[in-house]
Structure 1
Amino acid sequence: MEILKQFKALSDPTRLRLLFILEHFELNVNEIVSVVNMVQSGVSRHLKILLDAGLLVSRKDGSFIYYTTNKTGYTRELVVLACKQLENEPGLQEDIARTQQCIILRKNRSRGFFRTAAPRWDRLKKKVLGNFNPNPLLECYLQDASTIADLGCGTGEMLAGLLGRGGKTLIGVDASPEMLEQARLRLPEGQNLELRIGELEHLPMREQEVDAALMSMVLYHVSEPEKAIREVYRVLNPGGLFLLVDFLKHDQEQIKDIIGGVWLGFTQQQISGWLDRTGFNLKHTEFYPVEKTLTLTFYLAQK
């Protein structure tokens, strides 16, 4: 009986500890080992038991396998109930604090990439996009929006195109000071344009501040994509549009040497699942092949 397998999986304190951590974060084995201070073989054994019970799911990204709790299906209520009972355990809160340090290390690697790549970013993008330019695709959906946020605005290429349309208030957000400096060099100063520094998982924006938000070739740099999508939902007005362009999942780790990134793209199921759990209504999806046998996927969603 499946329920017996699940309760048996939850009967071990170490497995409960892992479940609680992976309810809050998606981690690979090396990161989990550093958090719980156990040998890798022991961690892997416990992960397999939780996987076999359907309480965890895994995904392969390059040479790493990442684990998180199962967010769908009939086991979801059991996972939520178990984690709720563990919230006040002091040792587990220490685990969460150590896990946050792992996430900070990921973000620091991304920031380090952009410190050197920012002046060359437009040229680097062209190596993987070739002659394909996603900006006109996005602009055609923004005609009726009066306040627009470009999240992960980079060097300001998209914002420069939107400035020409007039009558719109534009907000650019990026976590990299070096990328924002390139954007300031490109964009004229004006009352209808504001550049803000901040992480996509914690946007420096008010609730319901914009009519439309876009992320173009950004999400694969974000350590916790679902948190970033929840932030987009927060800052959008009711009925607002979310335009997302990112790479379809691939296995070419060498691409990170060109354009960096934490993820090797995303499956449709990953993106649509995050959008659905956040509350978005996915309206439209399109695919565009680019260089290096990569594919860009465009998602149009509405709050």
Structure 2
Amino acid sequence: MRIEALVVIKALADETRMRILAVLSREPLNVQEIQRVLNLKQSRVSRHLKIMERAGLLEGHREGAFVYYKYHQSIPHTPGLIALFASLGLIQNSRLMSDQAHWPASNEALLLPDEYGEDLERLEQLLEERRAATIDHFEQLQTGQEIGQQELVDSNYYRQGILRLLPDEPGVVADLGCGGGELSAMLARRVGRLICIDQSANMLERARRIIDSPQVEFRLGAIEHLPLGNAEARTVIASMVLHHVPDPDSAIREIVRVLAPGGRLILVELEQHRQEYMRSHHADFWMGFPLQRLKSMLGEAGLDVQVVEQGAGEGTLQCLFLVATRSIAAKAQAATADERQVVLNAT
């Protein structure tokens, strides 16, 4: 979608819409959540969303009974709009804009209304409730409870697919959202060093009980803030974890941070479906993803998608397998960007 500069400026000529855009640049929200975060009536929120969606500033994705809105990052190549979005604190969220220029990120530079500070506090409270609900689900999950989804998702099928997609020399492997360790146990027999990561202490303890290897390390942490250093992993596996994350784009960017240049991401996800059971019984935030959306997310994060496969095994829901690599040139590009920043700061 092409965004016309004049339409964008008109759409943002309202403090409430500026607040909405700033909040949605941080996290996808539905109408009820936007209403709560901005402390507004639903009729006002819906009217503003329509204006912003027509202007191309927002995009919505339906998930069951709800539509989640997020900031649309297709920003036009005009210095004026780049400066406008920088002043709203959105500059760091767009690779296009970061390629065009570097802008200060201090709060003094923002043109947002005073109410935005309170918006952020309410947003953080909402996000903490989301995280707590997901963690609580997996903390309470007992061995065998996941069997209920076996008719829908053939876990053995996609785990075998992951093993087949492993590179010959995987290096340090990070298994994100390792759960009870079923896949991790298979990986431990195939790789030299494995880091198992999950945000649930209960899941990590279950994984420890079935994996006994000095080459396997267990770390507690969420995919949005991985307990990994920059470029620490040569191979990252994100298996059926992205649909639990409210902001998958942010999760992919975090994966890129920990992935070494030339490293490989193996992403396995459900294709978009309508099985509400997966949301109500298994804490799924998204009901799968269209293939094109996954490819777009990976591409926008700077990854090169090289392999795409699809299949269901003995399940009814389709599994999508994507293999993407981080360009070896990424490190050099990042260094060049740092050099540009030094020059800009010196002028």
The TM-score normalised by the length of structure 2 is 0.80
Identity %, equivalent residues: 35
Alignment partner of 2:18 out of 16, 19, 24: 16
In the alignment, which of 276, 288, 295 is matched to residue 299 of structure 2?
276
Residue 240 of structure 1 is matched in structure 2 by 263
Q: Does 1:173 align with 2:175?
A: no
User: Matches of 1:77 and 1:295 in 2, distance apart?
Assistant: 43
Distance 1:109 1:195 in 2: 22
Structure 1 residues 43 and 134, CA gap change in structure 2 (3 angstroms)? same
**1:200–1:185 distance in 2 versus 1, CA, 3 Å:** same
CA contact (8 A) 1:23 1:83 kept: no
Which of 71, 89, 112 lines up with 1:69 in the alignment? 71
Structure 1 position 138 matched with structure 2 position 162:
yes
Q: Which amino acid aligns with 2:286?
A: W
Q: TM-score by structure 1 length?
A: 0.92
Q: Which runs of 5+ in 2 are unaligned?
A: 90-106, 327-347
Point out the more displaced range, 88-97 or 236-245. 88-97
Is 1:117 matched with 2:141? Answer: yes
Contact 2:267 2:323 in 1 (8 A): yes
Matches within 5 A, 1:2-151: 2-72=4-74, 74=76, 81-87=83-89, 88=107, 89=112, 90-120=114-144, 123-130=147-154, 132-142=156-166, 143-151=168-176
Query: 1-side partners of 2:130 and 2:303: how far apart?
Result: 27
Secondary structure of the residue that 1:213 maps to in structure 2? strand
- Alignment match, 1:225: 248
- Are residue 192 (structure 1) and residue 215 (structure 2) matched? yes
Question: What is the DSSP-based 3-state SS (H/G/I as helix, E as strand, rest coil) of the residue aligned with 2:288?
Answer: coil
Q: What is the DSSP-based 3-state SS (H/G/I as helix, E as strand, rest coil) of the residue aligned with 1:109?
A: helix
Give the drift of 1:123. 2.3
Q: Give the Å deviation of 1:255.
A: 2.1
Cα pair distance change 1:77/1:153, threshold 3 Å: farther
SS at match of 2:125: helix
Please, which runs of 5 or more residues in structure 1 have no aligned partner? none
Query: What is the CA–CA distance in structure 2 between the aligned matches of 1:104 and 1:70, rounded to whole Å?
Result: 24
Classify 1:81/1:65 alpha carbon distance in 2 versus 1 (closer, same or farther; 3 Å).
farther
CA contact (8 A) 2:174 2:194 kept: yes
TM-superposition CA deviations, 1:95-132 (whole Å, max 9, x none)? 12321221221111111211222423552452322475
Letter in 1 for 2:169: D
Q: Provide the secondary structure at the position in 2 that maps to 1:238.
A: strand
TM-superposed deviation, 1:93: 3.1
Preserved CA contact (<8 Å) 1:54 1:75: no
Give, as a single letter, the amino acid of the residue that structure 2 aligns with 1:223: P
Flag the 1:298–1:187 CA change in 2: closer, same or farther, 3 A: same
Task: Return the offset for 1:281.
Answer: 0.5
Give yes or no for contact 1:284–1:301 (8 Å, CA) kept in 2: yes
